[in-house]
Structure 1
Amino acid sequence: MAQIAADRIAVSTWSLHRLLGMTYPHDLTTNAIGPMQETYGEGEESLLGLPSVLANHGYHRLEIVSFHLRSRDPIYLGELRDQLKIAEVRLQTLLIDAGDISHPQDGARDQKWIAGWIEVANELGAENARIIAGKQKPTRDALDRSVKALTALADGNAGSPVRLVTENWFDLLAEPAHVHFLLDKLDGRIGLLGDFGNWGGPNKYSDLKSIFGRAELCHAKANFIDGDLDEADYGACVRLAEEAGYTGPYTLIFDSDVPNEWHGLATERDFITTRDV
């Protein structure tokens, strides 16, 4: 099998959370951005400065987690969009990282909150916006609530260039059958972001392969053991995605204490792009 082209590599701000340091936690009862928190220390770089730093490291695709945005003010969003353009970095996805649209009581509230963040994705010029399908146990009622809410969100975003996607994440989509059920019901209105790191157990590889033929995006999370990449697992994940027909970008997800973030990302990137998988 051929090597994977470097232009299919992206980076998530989650993978650089220590570099950024600050987060702005979400409050689902308001659209206001929460007070800054030094969740991962003071940080060394701002989100506005990140596009040029990213480009200097050879990366030209970025995913931004919503809690890394310090403001939803149009002026700030415009500045960030300008910095992305200057650095020639594509904003591949805004990851809307909260909300439970499958919740029987709070689902409507969270749907409205997510809709506001889809507007932010449009203002930033993001290509995609990732929505959590739900966190409830996968009962038929919970799945139906998710389908209804995702359909409404897609209707509200009609005509926009921003593609809405969801992810194989949390209890609602913890196994392939429920991913397929949801996507079938949505009939192409919502895409799939497949994440290597969200599923485990003895059926991990077969389960992931089952959904990756439908994936449009991928979170390529690797495990590191004492600073060394778990090549067997990472290779198996990339290989199954390619064999399933996946042709989209690989967003590098790094979340280990060692090595440092840039080194860990480079290790993941080089594994994907320099080896036949």
Structure 2
Amino acid sequence: MAQSADRIAVSTWSLHRFLGTTYAHDLTTTAIGPGEDTYGEGSESLLGLPSVLANHGYKRLEIVSFHMRSRDSIYLAELREQLRIAGVTLQTLLIDAGDITDPVNGARDTAWIAGWVEVANELGAENARIIAGKQQPTPENIERSISALRQLADANAGSPLRLVTENWFDLLSSPSVVHEVLDRLEGRIGLLGDFGNWSGPTKYQDLASIFPRAELCHAKATFADGQLDEADYAACLSAAEGAGYKGPYTLIFDADHPHEWTGLAEERDFILSRLDQG
């Protein structure tokens, strides 16, 4: 059980209500604006989260960029220290905006993302997730994506930080394009596979196609009236494990019910029960 538990992480995306405040992204500047109580008042700050997370038995964290109130070096150092004290590993900084395939603003967004990659390095994150593109997967847009991702990888060369992208938005909406982009990047960018981004009759087949190359996973479960959809979650896990996935499972919870910590615990326990059976 302990070894399996080491494969569990939590994203701040799953703790919207607990954190409350978000900081909207403005792609025209590196500054972070005033916070908004998007999800209510919140119970804890991001700086206080590592110790709370550890108290709940979680040792790996992913931070969404819009949960960070500052990019100031003093703040980043303080957050890194709180993670160290709590014994929580910063698995990934999720850079949650920008479109490197935008025909007008792609270069601007690539530069903006590069700034967040520097933040991830300063925080000591293991990974930084970059959106590969929000445009349709035309040959021209695929070229834009690959060119920008190469540029970001070049700028990050020599760093222990691993850059990854995700099967998310229009560009990477099918296994064939995921494979094409990653193949052409020749290992310079990794894959974060997300259970919740794809749907339809070929969902599990499509996940099984990409998970042999996944290094990270967003293990999102569906909840209806507070009840976890066990059939869907089990099928997603089977697709990943059957493909040989051995990385961490980051719990993604965004339902109204049950309580966030309760929902996370249900996801964790479901995954661990399946891993232990294996």
Tell me the TM-score range normalised by the shorter chain: over 0.9
Q: Which amino acid aligns with 2:228?
A: L
Task: Determine if the alignment matches structure 1 residue 217 to structure 2 residue 216.
Answer: yes
Partner of 1:168: 167
Find the aligned partners of 1:4 and 1:172 in 2 and give their Cα distance. Answer: 36
- Aligned partners of 2:75 and 2:31: how far apart in 1? 14
Question: Deviations for 1:115-155, whole angstroms, at most 9, x for unmatched residues?
Answer: 00000000000000000000000000000000000000000
In structure 2, C-alpha distance between the alignment counterparts of 1:257 and 1:103, rounded to whole Å: 33
Query: How far is 1:4 from its partner?
Result: 7.4
Q: Which string of whole-angstrom CA distances, capped at 9 and with x for unpartnered residues, describes residues 47-79 of structure 1?
A: 000000000000000000000000000000000
Would the aligned equivalents of 1:154 and 1:189 in 2 still touch at CA under 8 Å? yes
Q: Which stretch has the larger CA shift, 267-276 or 144-153?
A: 267-276
Aligned CA distance change for structure 1 residues 52 and 184 (closer, same or farther; 3 Å): same
Partner of 1:51: 50
Per the alignment, residue 36 of structure 1 pairs with 35
Distance apart, 1:34 and its partner CA: 1.7
Partner of 2:26: 27
Q: What is the aligned-residue RMSD (CA, Å)?
A: 1.1
In structure 2, do the counterparts of structure 1 residues 220 and 202 end up closer, same or farther at CA, with 3 Å as the change threshold?
A: same
- Structure 2: which 5+ residue stretches go unaligned? none
Residues 1:144 and 2:136 are matched in the alignment:
no
Q: Once superposed, which parts of structure 1, at least 4 consecutive aligned residues long, lie more than 6 Å away?
A: none
CA deviations on 1:174-196 (whole Å, 9 max, x unpaired) are 00000000001100000000000
Partner of 1:123: 122
**What SS does the aligned partner of 1:105 have?**
coil
Q: Does 1:241 align with 2:225?
A: no
Is contact 1:193–1:218 with CA below 8 Å preserved after alignment?
A: yes
Q: Contact conserved, 1:4 with 1:272, CA < 8 A, in 2?
A: no
Matched, 1:107 2:115: no
Partner amino acid, structure 1, of 2:142: L
CA contact (8 A) 1:168 1:174 kept: yes
SS in 2 for 1:5: helix
Tell me whether 1:73 sits opposite 2:72 in the alignment. Answer: yes
Could you tell me which residue of structure 2 aligns to residue 133 of structure 1?
Answer: 132
1:208 aligns with 2:207: yes
1:251 aligned residue: 250
- For normalisation by structure 2, the TM-score amounts to 0.98
- Secondary structure (helix, strand or coil) at the match of 2:193 reads strand
Consecutive unaligned residues in structure 1, runs of 5 or more? none
- What do residues 153-179 of structure 1 show as CA deviations (whole Å, max 9, x unaligned)? 000000001100000000000000000
Q: Structure 1 residues 61, 265: CA separation in 2 closer, same or farther (over 3 Å shift)?
A: same
Aligned mates of 2:54, 2:3 — CA distance in 1: 19
Give 1:136's aligned amino acid: Q
CA distance in 2, matches of 1:3, 1:50: 22
**Percent same amino acid among aligned pairs?**
75
- State the partner residue of 1:189: 188
Distance in 2 between residues matched to 1:218 and 1:130, nearest whole Å: 11
Q: Cα 1:67–1:33, aligned 2, differ >3 Å: closer, same or farther?
A: same
Following the alignment from structure 2 to structure 1, what is the Cα–Cα distance between the partners of residues 191 and 105? Answer: 24
Farther-moved stretch of structure 1 (148-157 vs 34-43):
34-43
Shift of 1:3: 10
TM-score (norm 1): 0.98
- What SS does the corresponding residue of 1:219 show, helix, strand or coil? strand
CA distance in 1, matches of 2:101, 2:251: 28
Give a deviation string over 1:90-115, Cα, whole Å, max 9, x none.
Answer: 00000000000011111000000000
SS at match of 2:171: helix
**CA 1:86/1:3 → structure 2, altered by over 3 Å: closer, same or farther?**
closer
